[in-house]
């Protein structure tokens, strides 16, 4: 749906938000009533969607509301609200809105100076939104060639660094770490010792820290663990947290994400840039067609 929807529909949507708030805070009796009609409303919706959009839902005076107009509004209602709203209540809100607008016109509020100025400003904003939508947002696209060029130029951004699956035992003293290291070298289970001896946050998981990327931890640990072969242990490593013994169980080499994998990400990066460039170009073109004089003294 076009983002520059008309004022009438915008007003109805806002009104529905207040209506939904009222429903949420109503008595449990009303809530039960709404809930009990959910299946009926769903069946009703299934039937209505098979009817032509020009089907008349309501008439009042010389006014009508069609199924197409109702569905256009209903599509804008947030899904959470739809669970609470009865369609007949929404239709009643549309009728009420139309009657209020009609009454305002009967009383010539359109001729009120302040009201007329507000209408003018709203109309101008909608026109600007429509221009941006039609001439920029709907037209500007990112080509496959542009995506590929960006990918080739920025491959470093799509490089996944080398990773290791790391297990950690952390204790407070070097003496304790030395005893544990001897136990591990003698063949005792790393995970079991981590669960009973480690003070690190991964202790409950047997010291399992998951995969970590190169450069994501302190240099002393980073250098040691990425030099290990699978299944090997580090020597005791001191940090601000205590004394570590670490083990690597898996390794993932550095790799580059494929173009297909990052295509959408690249498009989301390039599209706003292209849209902004198109907008800036449009403004430059429009300004070039007129002589603009600015009273700098008055601006101060």
DSSP string, 122-178: HHHHHHHHHHHIIIIITT----HHHHHHHHHHTGGGGEEPPEEEEEEEEES-HHHHH
Q: Pick the range with the lowest mean pLDDT from 90-94, 112-116, 233-237.
A: 90-94
**The pLDDT of residue 293 is above 80:** yes
Q: Are 194 and 169 in contact (CB under 8 A)?
A: yes
Architecture of domain 162-253: Roll (3.10)
Over residues 243-288, the pLDDT tens digits come to 999 999 999 999 999 999 999 999 999 999 999 999 999 999 999 9
Nearest to 44 by CA among 90, 106, 99: 90
Phi and psi of 74, rounded to 5°?
-60, -35
Quote the distance between the C-alpha of residue 237 and its chain's center: 42
User: So where are the chain's domains?
Assistant: 7-107, 144-153+257-294, 162-253
**The pLDDT of residue 21 is above 70:** no
For 36-41, what is the mean pLDDT?
Answer: 44
Over residues 158-215, the pLDDT tens digits come to 988 999 999 999 999 999 999 999 999 999 999 999 999 999 999 999 999 999 999 8
Over residues 52-107, the pLDDT tens digits come to 999 999 999 899 999 999 999 888 888 888 888 888 888 998 899 899 999 999 99
| Residue with more model confidence, 275 or 14 | 275
Phi and psi of 18, rounded to 5°?
-65, -35
Q: Are 148 and 262 in contact (CB under 8 A)?
A: no
Nearest to 168 by CA among 135, 133, 197: 197
For 118-142, what is the mean pLDDT?
Answer: 94
For 150-157, what is the mean pLDDT?
Answer: 92
- pLDDT at site 200: 92
């Amino acid at each position: 749906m076009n983002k520059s929807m008309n004022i009438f529909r915008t007003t109805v949507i806002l009104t529905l938000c207040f209506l939904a708030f009222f429903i949420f805070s109503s008595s449990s009796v009303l809530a039960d009533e709404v809930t009990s009609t959910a299946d009926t409303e769903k069946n009703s919706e299934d039937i209505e969607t098979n009817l032509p959009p020009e089907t008349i839902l309501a008439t009042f005076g010389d006014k009508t509301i069609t199924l197409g107009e109702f569905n256009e509004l209903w599509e804008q209602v947030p899904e959470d609200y739809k669970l609470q709203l009865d369609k007949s209540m929404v239709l009643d809100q549309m009728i009420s809105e139309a009657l209020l607008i009609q009454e305002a016109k009967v009383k010539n509020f359109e001729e009120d100076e302040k009201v007329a100025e507000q209408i003018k400003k709203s109309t101008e904003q909608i026109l600007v939104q429509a221009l941006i939508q039609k001439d920029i947002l709907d037209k500007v696209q990112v080509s496959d060639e542009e995506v590929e060029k960006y990918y080739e130029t920025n491959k470093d951004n799509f490089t996944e660094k080398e990773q290791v699956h790391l297990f950690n035992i952390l204790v407070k003293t070097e003496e304790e770490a030395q005893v544990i290291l001897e136990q591990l070298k003698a063949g005792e289970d790393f995970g079991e010792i981590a669960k009973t001896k480690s003070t690190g946050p991964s202790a409950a998981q047997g010291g399992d820290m998951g995969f970590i990327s190169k450069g994501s931890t302190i240099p002393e640990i980073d250098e040691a663990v990425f030099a290990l072969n699978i299944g090997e242990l580090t020597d005791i490593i001191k940090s601000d947290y205590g004394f570590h013994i670490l083990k690597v169980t898996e390794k993932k080499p550095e790799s580059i994400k494929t173009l297909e994998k990052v295509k959408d990400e690249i498009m989301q990066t390039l599209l706003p840039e292209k849209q902004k460039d198109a907008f800036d170009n449009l403004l430059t073109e429009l300004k070039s067609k007129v002589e603009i004089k600015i009273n700098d003294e008055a601006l101060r």
